Structure 1
Amino acid sequence: MTITHATELRLAARPGAELRKDHFELVHTEIGPPGEGEFLVRNDWMLLSVVMRDLMEAEPHPELPMSAYELGRPPWAPAVGTVLASRSARFRAGDLVQHVYGFRDHVLAAEGDASVTRLDPGLLPGPEYHLNQGATAWRGMVTLAGAGPGDTVFVSGATTGVGSVAGQIARCRGAARVIGSTGSKDKIDYLVGELGFDAAFDYHDGPVAARLAELAPDGVDVFFDNVAGEQFEAALALAAPEARFVLCGSLSGRNPVLDLEPAVLRDVTIRGFTTPYENDPAWTEHFGRWLREGRFVFPRTVVEGGLSAVPGALVAQLNGRHRGTTLVRL
């Protein structure tokens, strides 16, 4: 089958107070056959993330840790697809590949493009499993915090794509207790009943410090923060000696007050970090093995309807209506 046209979802306007569906525009474009050194990919799955909201607001700037989105163009986003036709020495028709050319159903790529990676379809149960946010969770929980046996671990925003994976990583590495915060009773049941957290609480139910103290009476050794604000302050007040804090996000939109006394007296390490959307071989190896052993769940919300469903799905994700990683079936 010859592909002559593609569909793109472009950023039509920068959002103000809230993101709306009309900030996007669906556009049909012509796409030619591969030229010398090129290959044509049909995108099958695409990842949505809350960080996209920030990238839509910002003008492109070289000092940003991630490239901001340009008006009138499809935003970049991790995607997995199948090579349909190729005139490249690196890729053949039928190859499974991952790249950052989401927000479109087909893409013509060049063989020298370092963002395109061939995937081994046998490593994980399905192609969509490669679009997990585990590389971020792995870097924070393992590389930076070194979570392991004996640790009491607290994950804020534990039902997010990163948080739901971070907590399971800590559990698989032998943490003594894994606690998560979330926003509703059904999400508490999900964290404990399905993902194997030892305990969870709704941050709406009274002061966070009081709820956390009930669940971590001996203090917090590792804090993986996706929220900031009150939850960071509570974790710091309950930090155990030589606690390790890794800061991944600030969903609350409020900068916390840093109480220096417990940070200094308890020798707390506080480290912010960002992670590119790249595969980490160490994470992928552990992820695949833990899945095969039945020790790990890939928490995800699958959005049907292709590109036209993306704006509504992103709005729903920003409003906290999704669990785990949000994937769009293209």
Structure 2
Amino acid sequence: MNATHRVVRLTRRPAGLPTADDLALVRAPVPRPEAGQILVRNTHFLVFPGLRTLIGGATRDVPLPPLHPGDTLFGPAVGEVVDGPLPKGRLVLHLQGWREYATPAAAECRLLDGTLPDPVAHLAQGSAAYGALTRPAEVREGDTVLVTGAAGAVGTMAGQIARLLGAARVIGSTGSPDKARRLERELRYDATVLRGTAPVDGPLAAAAPDGIDVVLDTVGGEQLTAAVQAANRGARIALVGALDGQLSPDRTGASAPAVLDTFRLLTRGITVAGYNGPDHPDVEAEWEARFGDWLRAGEIRFPYTPVPGMERAPEALPGLITGRSFGATVVEL
């Protein structure tokens, strides 16, 4: 084993959206596991937009610690056990990504058992989408479903899940014509609405002439405003992300205001609920079992943009924030 390994650290708190200059790829001694820890050689890790909030320093109500200059970034990772109390050579899922070697506590790791045919699929952000679409915004046979931020890590999974749960029509919003084409050709979206060139409500009304029954919102802002305008009586809206705030250069990533027509919410009996995974501890196992079955049957895909090599990792977060990825962003070591 090499005496050193590479890690990505925050060098300064960004002025606005983070850039590659705010991060540094540095060498550090390979850590030695302490009592109860294991040494893991990471093979893949996920780049998630929530890092924008953690880097911004405003983390009230967020169940993850803030990142300060000098800290190593972190996030979901898959790696191989090198040393410690867990079996050597086994693959584990843990939260110490953004480094080549990690020393998570064995109790905080999950041994991968083949539930999913591809270990990298454990980095898919499908659990939140599945939980939202089966709990607060339960999809019913024949529903029309809108997914905002459809080309993101959650959105690319959500449209497929909605279809498998019985949705008759699935509509997505995105900011790129190329991504819109991919959503329709590769992920079975029936229609897409482009944001950024005109108010969203007009194109959304054209894409959903009979209204919307279920909304899975990963964005907030004007897209959530438009979703409420298009919602049918009894529609269910689940909030699973706040990208409008996290990707704004004028915010810290910890707020995402939106204008909602409360008169319409009231008169149409529309429900709006935030989905939080820890509030639904039964979802994860249920999701993985169904995800594994769907993957093996070829009924679902895990779309992600690979970032090859640790040397390109500092560019991965800015690339995600500026919309250069489709699906999840996964660094491959």
Give the TM-score normalised by the residue count of structure 2. 0.90
Task: Output the amino acid matched with 1:263.
Answer: L
Verify: 1:237 aligned to 2:236, yes or no: no
User: CA separation in 2, counterparts of 1:21 and 1:143?
Assistant: 38
- Shift in Å at residue 189 of structure 1? 1.1
Verify: 1:213 aligned to 2:205, yes or no: yes
Give the TM-score normalised by the residue count of structure 1. 0.91
1:272-297 Cα offsets, whole Å, 9 max, x none, are: 23336x99111111111111111111
1:18-63 Cα offsets, whole Å, 9 max, x none, are: 31212122232223554554321101000001111111011666x4
Alignment of 1:150-169 (within 5 A): 150-169=142-161
Verify: 1:94 aligned to 2:97, yes or no: no
User: CA separation in 2, counterparts of 1:35 and 1:55?
Assistant: 27
- Shift in Å at residue 133 of structure 1? 0.5
- Shift in Å at residue 311 of structure 1? 1.7
Q: Greater relative contact order: 1 or 2 (C-alpha under 8 angstroms, separation 6 or more)?
A: 2
Alignment of 1:51-90 (within 5 A): 51-58=50-57, 63-86=61-84, 88=85
User: What secondary structure is seen at the aligned counterpart in 2 of 1:16?
Assistant: coil
RMSD over equivalenced CA pairs, Å:
1.9
Verify: 1:322 aligned to 2:325, yes or no: yes
Q: Tell which deviates more after alignment, 101-110 or 91-100.
A: 101-110
Q: Name which of 270, 273, 284 aligns with 2:272.
A: 270
User: What secondary structure is seen at the aligned counterpart in 1 of 2:46?
Assistant: strand
| Percent identity over paired residues | 40
Q: Tell which deviates more after alignment, 65-74 or 227-236.
A: 65-74
User: CA separation in 1, counterparts of 2:229 and 2:34?
Assistant: 60
Task: Output the amino acid matched with 1:258.
Answer: L
Q: Is the 8 A contact 1:3 1:32 kept in 2?
A: no
Task: Assess, with a 3 A threshold, how the Cα gap between structure 1 residues 116 and 241 changes in structure 2: closer, same or farther.
Answer: same
Flag structure 1 segments of 5+ consecutive residues without an equivalent. Answer: none
Q: Tell which deviates more after alignment, 262-271 or 213-222.
A: 213-222
User: CA separation in 1, counterparts of 2:257 and 2:270?
Assistant: 18
Q: Is the 8 A contact 1:65 1:274 kept in 2?
A: no
Alignment of 1:1-330 (within 5 A): 2-31=1-30, 33-34=32-33, 36-58=35-57, 63-86=61-84, 88=85, 91-111=86-106, 113=107, 115-120=108-113, 122-253=114-245, 255-275=257-277, 280-306=284-310, 308-330=311-333
Q: Is the 8 A contact 1:148 1:170 kept in 2?
A: no
User: CA separation in 2, counterparts of 1:141 and 1:324?
Assistant: 18
Task: Output the amino acid matched with 1:66.
Answer: L
- Shift in Å at residue 3 of structure 1? 4.9
Q: Is the 8 A contact 1:59 1:69 kept in 2?
A: no
- Shift in Å at residue 199 of structure 1? 1.3
Task: Output the amino acid matched with 1:199.
Answer: A
Task: Assess, with a 3 A threshold, how the Cα gap between structure 1 residues 36 and 245 changes in structure 2: closer, same or farther.
Answer: closer
- Shift in Å at residue 204 of structure 1? 3.4
1:179-204 Cα offsets, whole Å, 9 max, x none, are: 00111221111111100111112123
Q: Is the 8 A contact 2:137 2:237 kept in 1?
A: yes
Task: Output the amino acid matched with 2:242.
Answer: S
Q: Is the 8 A contact 1:83 1:96 kept in 2?
A: yes
User: What secondary structure is seen at the aligned counterpart in 2 of 1:243?
Assistant: strand
Aligned length: 320
Q: Tell which deviates more after alignment, 38-47 or 26-35.
A: 26-35
